[in-house]
Structure 1
Amino acid sequence: MTLQTQRIEFEATKKIYESATLVFHGVDGFDVYNISIPFIRDGKRYLFGRVERREEWARSWVRLFGETGQDAWTVVEDSMIYTLEDPYISEIGDELVLGGTHVQYQSGRYSTFFGYFFRGIDLHNLYYFTTGPNKMKDIRLVPLPDGKIGVFSRPRGAKTRSKYGSESMIGFTIVDRLEELTADVIENAPYIYGIFGEGEWGGVNQAYLLDSGKIGVIGHICYRGKDENGGEVKVYLNMAFVFDPATRESSDLQLIGSRSCYPPGPAKAPDLVDCVFTSGIVMRPDGKADLYSGIGDCQAGRITIDYPFAGHGCLV
């Protein structure tokens, strides 16, 4: 079944219980999008967000926001400003790890990008400690039961397409400590096969250890579509699957969200009108999950869905 067909079936049967656009205060004149999942530190709820002017590309900053109301977030004054895009977090032991994409320029022109990683116990004093491979996004970490750390990679490009048919792959490896997280280790992570079809791409956005020992993955899966005028549209969908690190097998890949699940709103460019860039889920007291995403590269949203890993264990 093609991803387009899966999307049609999902739209016909989806169950969305709440849908909201997040509001951000303290950054007038800037969009906030492609956020991290909300997290709790020192008894308060925060998230990191990509802050950028609507008319600009690859000139963004990552700022820390605190929750100040239902779906309302306010920038934390005097907090660190990171020269990054698309932030994400992992909690490894007592430490918070912040990752994001750092774009490099040479002579005023775009050159390349890398994943940068920061760590620390104090949310307001994270320090830069390692760099991912050249031109690799969507590197994600997950704590494992034995104290080790699972690492998901996301190679993408012409070489991947010519060998595997899909534009990207997902890899997975294990390190003993954060100090072992290097570009070489990430780049050489063995691939997980069978996630993406011909011409598709995507990656892991947030990974969760389940009490079964498996890993619940929330990510994005994408294809190129056409708008009503025949113009190309990059279709980004929210997806989930389960990965068993012992057998290296993935299962239960499913769509869990699309642009139509979130409130109507603008897009940064015409080819991003059908784009939701996944952040991850946060469990609710009622057993459902709040799924967060960037919308159209200019907003962030939240939808409430059924728990996507039912039958595979609960989040640890």
Structure 2
Amino acid sequence: MRAPVDALYRDYLARRQPSARGKIRFDGVNGFDVYNPTAPFYDGERWLMAARVEKRDSERSEVRFFHWQGGNQAYLLPDAPIFPLQDPFVCRIGGQLVLGGVEVEFTAGGEVSRWRTQFWCGSTLDQLRLLSCGPWGMKDIRLVQLADARILVFTRPQGQPGGRGTIGWTIIDRLSELTAQTLSRATLLEQVDENDWCGANEAHLLADGRVGVLAHVARFDAQQQRHYYAASFIFDPASGVSSAIKIIACRDDFLPGDSKRDDLGDVVFSGGLYGLPGEEVRLFCGTSDCEVQWRSVADPFQV
């Protein structure tokens, strides 16, 4: 059943609790904003974060990698590869590191003209090679390997079908099947009102074979201001059924800060979860399209 995002927000406000929070400071990128991060991930030697890096007045972004040491500081890895992408995500499939991000094309005047998702794959950061690209017009594609080694893929078409943004799903046998044609045929989940939108940000295989999904839901208000919230749901790949999507954090749960534009002040873009299943975890997010912040939350997938 489709739920209006403003109703999900009111429900969240009735049950939310205060918790620890903080901002991540990124050394080595003076003059640039850093936002929309991945959760910290281990590369075999250290904990890393990938994040979107760009000037305040620009959408021309790079994905850069930072060494995170467990606190509120992260340090640029100057020798790590740089990708001309937005909104990175990482996962491991068959022992391989998969990096995704949004490729954006611009008009001669600097306006965004179209976008699609790129997928890079390799055993290490330095060995990442372009694997495939999603359909033009689709962001928020996420992957997770299931217990039987197949790969569950979440998509997010817009337009017809998809409206302002709807989460879809499909299952593939191997990464070579990750093509624009395959992603375009995904089955859609009816989770939020057709006037609102949502997308997947990170997927976790749970002990019972279901998949916990960190997501975002969003809406416009009467003044056409954007409102984005961190959200979650649990998806059963065996039945194709998801639990009701719910909000787990909103902008004023985090510390005050700058905004890229006035209409982005109430934006929380889910990045990733870090911590032990069943316990309190850290939710890393981009806030107002110019900072990275974290907040402690109860494990949204505890079953």
1:13 aligned to 12, 15, 24, which one?
15
Q: State the TM-score, normalizing by the size of structure 2.
A: 0.94
> CA separation in 1, counterparts of 2:255 and 2:103?
30
What is the CA distance between 1:104 and its match in structure 2?
Answer: 1.5
Match of 1:64 in 2: 65
Which 4+ stretches in 1 moved above 6 angstroms? Answer: none
Secondary structure in 2 matching 1:11 = helix
Question: Over residues 118-141 of structure 1, what are the superposed CA-to-partner deviations in whole Å (9 max), with x where a residue is unaligned?
Answer: 111112221111000011000100
Asked whether 1:293 is paired with 2:293, we answer: no
Q: How many residues align?
A: 300
Match of 1:310 in 2: 302
Match of 2:213 in 1: 217
What is the CA distance between 1:190 and its match in structure 2?
Answer: 1.4
Secondary structure in 2 matching 1:205 = strand
Contact kept, 8 Å, 1:16 with 1:303, in 2: the verdict is no
Tell which deviates more after alignment, 15-24 or 197-206.
15-24
1:263 aligned to 255, 262, 266, which one?
255
Amino acid at match of 2:284: Y
Match of 2:138 in 1: 136
Asked whether 1:179 is paired with 2:159, we answer: no
Match of 2:161 in 1: 160
Pair 146,22 (structure 1): closer, same or farther in 2 beyond 3 Å:
same
What is the CA distance between 1:287 and its match in structure 2?
Answer: 1.4
Segments of structure 2 that go 5 or more residues without pairing to the other structure are: none
> CA separation in 2, counterparts of 1:286 and 1:75?
31
Asked whether 1:237 is paired with 2:240, we answer: no
Amino acid at match of 2:25: V
Amino acid at match of 2:41: F
Alignment of 1:45-56 (within 5 A): 45-56=47-58
Contact kept, 8 Å, 2:277 with 2:299, in 1: the verdict is no
> CA separation in 2, counterparts of 1:241 and 1:201?
15
Q: State the TM-score, normalizing by the size of structure 1.
A: 0.91
Secondary structure in 1 matching 2:127 = coil
2:123 aligned to 101, 121, 124, which one?
121
Question: Over residues 74-117 of structure 1, what are the superposed CA-to-partner deviations in whole Å (9 max), with x where a residue is unaligned?
Answer: 11011111000000011112111000001123545543111111
Amino acid at match of 2:141: I
Amino acid at match of 1:279: G
Q: Percent of counterpart pairs with the same letter? A: 36
RMSD of aligned Cα (Å) = 1.6
> CA separation in 2, counterparts of 1:173 and 1:160?
15
Secondary structure in 2 matching 1:160 = coil
Match of 2:104 in 1: 103
Pair 107,3 (structure 1): closer, same or farther in 2 beyond 3 Å:
closer
1:197 aligned to 190, 193, 197, which one?
193
Question: Over residues 1-22 of structure 1, what are the superposed CA-to-partner deviations in whole Å (9 max), with x where a residue is unaligned?
Answer: 6321331231232124211111
Pair 52,248 (structure 1): closer, same or farther in 2 beyond 3 Å:
same
